[in-house]
Structure 1
């Protein structure tokens, strides 16, 4: 019975989001712990008369670590790649090179079986496209961007010349998207972000998840220079310092969540898509239009954000205005 329940979400991923066609070569990259999910995906691909290939990958040691070369080559050669993994390979050269070669991909990081049944996966992804693209268009080439929250976030950044990214869960050739998050984002110009980030919703990495108290980050000239708060803040601070890579403190992304069916549960691809939330991605930015490759990419998520671009408010306390 439970497997049949997984099939509906797998059908959404393969038929609607990946748009798999007959005889397309579909690469499924997964780990042994996700067997039930990958099996559901294989069943769904076969129903569409696609050609599934499953590659079992050893779990990466950290988010942002490149997959093995043989997997990266297979991604590049595929028509579609689906990544069901515990540590994100979204922000890697492998994904960037695969999409540049014309493949299209979906990333299902930290997926658990309930995420194929409930929550963000039940969204109408096609319907969400219009709003997501409109918000991404506003973010693109924004000269002066201002992010605020009631919890105390007050951050400015610049994105002149940078593209806006619309990740609405439906991919065409040359595109990738995370799922079930729906978000519009932009990678700011390096060294331009200044102010303070007060994450009050979630940091779904390194065992932190839902926040018990705010994590306060000081930002100067594009980098986090200080992290304050309680125990969870100290976990983040210590973990980042242990990377021994100054680029992990880079302000890599401003994202706006746009999935009305997502809620904060402490898992990355649900939390960062919560409608009206905002997140600041730190670390790697190369897949989003930036220039930085770091040892990780983490998101600091805030509730009910307000975002203004060149004096025009596009998000007001969590309400989308475009």
Structure 2
């Protein structure tokens, strides 16, 4: 029954988010445990009179690890691609190269079958896109960005010279975007971030998910200071994971993102949590697909609620309410 009920979500992803056209070639990249989702997507591609191909990816050892050359080539030569995987390949050269070659992609990282049936996938993406673009335009090139929250986040950074990214869930040639999140983000200038980050909602990676205890850390000259990470078992797990990567770039403050999908709710799933309307996340690690220059072994998002976000004096969010 669940496979049947996934049909509506699959059709929305293929026809609305990806905008598949007749006779296009669509590469679907998946992992063995996501095969039912991949099959539902393939059926929707066929219904759209296009041609799907399913490429089974052996699960990556970590988020951000490149897929095999054969799968990267399939992505690059496709008209469009869908990444329905659990371990993220979003922040990879394979995605960047595919889009540079004119393909377009939808990223369904950590997507589960329930998300195909209810939640953010059924949002009015065209309506949400208007707010998303406004926020991205405001963040773009901002010299001074400040973020505060009631629980203690107090971070200052710069987006000078950086583009604003509007991830509306709707993609055109040369673009990729996650679903169901709708978010606007900017990748801050490397070395510009200073202050304190307190995540209180979710860190939807490495089995952490929804937070029972806020996770606090300090930032100096663009990097999280490892010794300052506190907050209970979840903080210990995050800190240990970063240490195991043995690469200072895992601590790079890579992104400021604003969730703008009214249908998303906090579940512990990455793309659902990042899209919760009025939430804010700080991405840490790789930023090459967002406008930066750093390729790290991973990219994790630290999600917080009730943020106040100000860019060059313009209040974008106040206590989680959109002010633009």
Aligned to 2:9: 9
Matched residue SS, 1:188 = coil
* Aligned equivalents of 2:53, 2:212: Cα separation in 1: 42
* Aligned equivalents of 2:274, 2:91: Cα separation in 1: 15
Aligned to 1:169: 169
User: 1:267 Cα shift?
Assistant: 0.7
Task: Tell me which of 249, 252, 256 is aligned to 2:251.
Answer: 249
User: 1:311 Cα shift?
Assistant: 1.1
User: 1:127 Cα shift?
Assistant: 1.1
Q: TM-score, normalised by structure 1?
A: 0.99
User: Which runs of 5 or more residues in structure 1 are unaligned?
Assistant: none
User: 1:61 Cα shift?
Assistant: 0.5
Equivalences for residues 182-197 of structure 1 within 5 A:
182-197=182-197
* Aligned equivalents of 1:76, 1:316: Cα separation in 2: 41
User: 1:321 Cα shift?
Assistant: 1.3
Aligned to 1:231: 233
Task: Tell me which of 263, 275, 293 is aligned to 1:273.
Answer: 275
* Aligned equivalents of 2:309, 2:15: Cα separation in 1: 34
Matched residue SS, 2:229 = strand
User: 1:78 Cα shift?
Assistant: 0.3
* Aligned equivalents of 1:19, 1:222: Cα separation in 2: 38
- For these two proteins, the number of residue pairs brought into alignment is 322
Large movers: runs of 4+ above 3 Å = none
User: 1:229 Cα shift?
Assistant: 1.2
User: 1:3 Cα shift?
Assistant: 1.8
Task: Tell me which of 295, 298, 308 is aligned to 1:296.
Answer: 298
Q: TM-score, normalised by structure 2?
A: 0.99
User: 1:228 Cα shift?
Assistant: 1.1
Matched residue SS, 1:130 = helix
* Aligned equivalents of 2:323, 2:70: Cα separation in 1: 45
Aligned to 2:145: 145
User: Which runs of 5 or more residues in structure 2 are unaligned?
Assistant: none
Equivalences for residues 1-322 of structure 1 within 5 A:
1-225=1-225, 226-322=228-324
* Aligned equivalents of 1:223, 1:41: Cα separation in 2: 39
CA offsets 1:267-290 (integer angstroms, 9 cap, x no match)? 100001100000000000000000
User: 1:301 Cα shift?
Assistant: 0.3
* Aligned equivalents of 1:34, 1:310: Cα separation in 2: 43
- Aligned-residue Cα RMSD (Å) equals 0.6
